[in-house]
Amino acid sequence: MRTIGFIGIFLLVILNAVGLAISIQEGDWKGIGLMLFMVVMLVFFSHILWRGRKLSRSPITGERLAQGWGGERVGSFVTNQVAKSLDGRILIIGSGLCVAMATLSSLAPEVIFLSSSRSARAATLFAVWPMLAFVLYVRICGPAFKTTAFNTLSMLAVVGAPFVLAYT
């Protein structure tokens, strides 16, 4: 699971670099600010993953100190945990909507009421957001993964954020 996190962060860094380059070329200060905020978040997530890696093994023997969702396969985690909780379903539906919006932003921005000058930034934002939303799901809902009002409202805010950013 942690390896998937590092791979996802690496992919997000690449997409973030592209988004930052586009924002700088267009002189879009809002886009530059958003991409720099993403850099800070990616550094934070990398730090948390690295710290978790160091804490999950015994310093002397290298043995695992704990078992649980951290040692599961990603597919098992998604089917047994994410798909069965309200917070996880919010994540799945929101991620699907983001992928659809990324596609529409690229192919037909006028259908979703975006100007052609904002479509590239919106497409990048909507394409990257599902990966970020998954990381935030694990951060907000884990390690207990119990559905609470706070978790549900937080996940609604997470999946709603790209829509607010794209249309403001």
CA distances from 16 to 29, 32, 56, 64, 137 (A): 15, 10, 29, 34, 20
Q: What gap in Å lies between CA 105 and CA 111, rounded to an integer?
A: 8
Q: How confident is the model at residue 140 (pLDDT cuts 50, 70, 90)?
A: very high
pLDDT of residue 71: 57
pLDDT of residue 49: 83
| Number of domains present in the structure of the chain | 1
Q: What residues have CB less than 8 Å from 130, skipping those under 6 apart?
A: 94, 95, 98, 99
Higher pLDDT, residue 129 or 73: 129
Residue 148 has pLDDT above 90, yes or no: yes
**Domain extent for 109:** 2-167
Candidate from 52-61, 88-97, 139-148, 151-160 with smallest mean pLDDT: 52-61
pLDDT of residue 150: 96
Span 12-48, pLDDT tens digits:
899 899 889 999 998 999 989 999 999 999 999 888 8
Query: pTM to 2 decimals?
Result: 0.64
